[in-house]
Structure 1
Amino acid sequence: MRLALLIDDYMPDSTRVGAKMFHELACEFVKCGHEVVVITPGINQKNPLEKSDLDGVAVWKFNSGPIKDIGKIKRAINETMLSTRAWNAIKSELNSSFFDGIVYYSPSIFFSRLVTKLKKTCGCASYLVLRDLFPQWAVDEGLMKEGSLIEKYFRFFEKLNYKAANHIGLMSQNNLTLFNNRTDNLYQTNILRNWAAFSPFNFQDADFSYREKLNINNKTIYFYGGNIGHAQDMENLMRLARDMQSYAQAHFLFVGQGDEVELINKLAADWKLDNFTYLPSVNQEEFKHLLSEVDVGLFSLAHSHTAHNFPGKLLGYMVESLPILGSVNPGNDLLDIVREYDAGDIFINGDDKNLFEAAITYLDDEYRNNKGNNATALLHKEFTVESAAKDIVNIFSHR
């Protein structure tokens, strides 16, 4: 099959886990004998369409304005234009049998018009990899008022996003149930877990040590990597760092970008944290390098969330055999699966006491390593890229 993969952010320039996941999926499709064309924005590029090859994957970048790390209004305008700009750039390349299937990733919610046109032109089906129930999480966080004009605007495109899909993959059973209940079972859905290719970092490839560079050589490093935003409730993890100050062996390292970077740095200063370091985003290879040098993988989801996300960052932790420590919103089945495999410790956000007590146990090397090995076993059992690719191809094949 020749497959079109649509995503709003892609390798090699992206630092985001969604881009890494989609590239690993594309490479797995190629490995299985399929042709893949990734269609993705090229920010402020010279030409309407620029083609390249990355690890055997054809990449088509259409010219677009910036859609990441900019003001909300400008981002909304540029995201709204994604489908139009993409179609204008690629339509002359297509014919009635060019693609056999379309796989598109959400977020963004603005690819529906492109998907619909591709389906009509090529006579093929589409599969939506739904990783984020937007704008619902923004409403949950109080960033958007329910019933407001802007919420109605985003809801309109959210519905178009779902309508354009022949099949929708959600990341967990609880998320699937929630989605089907909210949409009155209008759509064909299945569980498509997040995925990762198992390729641990070879430290011999590194020309320096982050531990030495940051002067934290003999510390137990509690690491958070990824989006630092409202949806994560970063103050939750900062409270943990504050509570752990009396344990000289513990150090907290946060790496990423987002709306709450200023907040975490302010809290670190206000609380005079000497066990905390923040670094801006790094590229994917440097991120893997970092993961190979740390000890515990942290994550946090805001208590107010009604959707049940599985943060993609956990996949990187599992690949490097890091135990998982963090907080989820009530009802999130991530808690159950991590506990089932004894791959870490997860609590409902707000349970600071148990989170703190669990963090202390990870100062013990043997305890920490056992949990980390279990995390890798969980990856192999539930979150392989091979399984994700096979599930999607099977759905296309049985239509």
Structure 2
Amino acid sequence: MSTAPLGSVRGDLAARAAALDAADPLAEHRAAFVRTDGVVAYLDGNSLGRPLLATRDRLADFVGGAWGDRLIRSWDEGWMDAPTELGDLIARVCLGAAPGQTVVADSTTVLLYKLVRAAVDGRAADGRCEVVVDTDNFPTDRYVVEGIAAERGLTLRWITPDAGGAVTVDQVRDAVSERTALVLLSHVDYRSGRIADLPAITRVAHDVGALALWDLSHSAGSVELSLDEHQVDLAVGCTYKYLNGGPGAPAFAYLAARHHGRLPQPVQGWMGAADPFAMGPGYQPAAGIRQLISGTPPIVGMLPMRDMLALVERAGMPALRRKSMALTGFAIEVADALLAPYDVRVASPRDPAARGSHVMLEHPDFRAVTAALWERGVIPDFRPPHGLRVGLSPLSTSFAEVAAGLGQVADLLTPR
């Protein structure tokens, strides 16, 4: 490609990005986020969301107020109820779920362990001894279920997704049987961004009497969800991606009300007891979703996501989803125009309804290119073996960032 056409293409893309930003009904919200000097394009919002300016004040107020002034009295003044109160907020804003079914407590890994163990143990009496999981799922999901299978003597039925990262309804149908206790899948594939057919796959699991557990880490806050409507049994997700809870922010777990009291979780702790301060000789579980709590809630870690949830609720998930599809669509448009001549392949679905809020690009040089991009203030992430993942957070990412960031990718791929 000669430099003249390239310059013309870049100019056209920059003009289109400016027009899209000018027409963006959510553009005003970008000013609510902390901006970093030297960062040209932050394209990793699906790994760690930007902090909000309001969060700086919230954290400072917490040290001087609820913690510094009220001290231990704050447990009676709100902290004890924070896991379920915040869980209900996430459920209302992001999950399409009624109150009393969601809790914020531990890391994604720990909550996933609790839910998987509860599900398989709850189905063991029916002779169900198999779990369906896919080979391309996020490592935590695979590692946790492998460990539980070894603990409980379960059989894992592995599904190998197609080249596009999709676990299909037919594949699940072929894998389940009257022996299946649980189907564990991610709603949005962490590499390709492909969205699984949650309603249909959940129905397939239910048709054979199995439970469905969905990992929502890459969809909560970017893809509209209706867990109650689609009769999802269990779900888990992190809060530091599109919910901007910060590094190590506690995760959430959803357990449908119809399963309360039937699927006891395995990590029995004092905060999940019916009367935590009775200090009794034996464990009696709390009623409802509170039973999923084990130890002392991570109160400080819960603070930042409150600001983001308030912002998401004001903007509305339908508007966020429209912006997400527009951003990822524009990223693919830029990749086709600037990067395809260097043999970059779009590894995400081109149908906007079939992808989450990130786009995977593939090229053999992308490990080195990603490192060089970070030095230039362009921050995507790399996923082996040769994927550059462009994560686009609807409320904090502009179309101009997408054009500028992927333009830098083209510069690094240009033969010298």
Compute the TM-score of the two structures, normalised by the length of structure 1: 0.29
Larger radius of gyration: 2
* Greater RCO, CA 8 A, separation 6+: 2
Give 1 or 2: higher strand fraction: 1
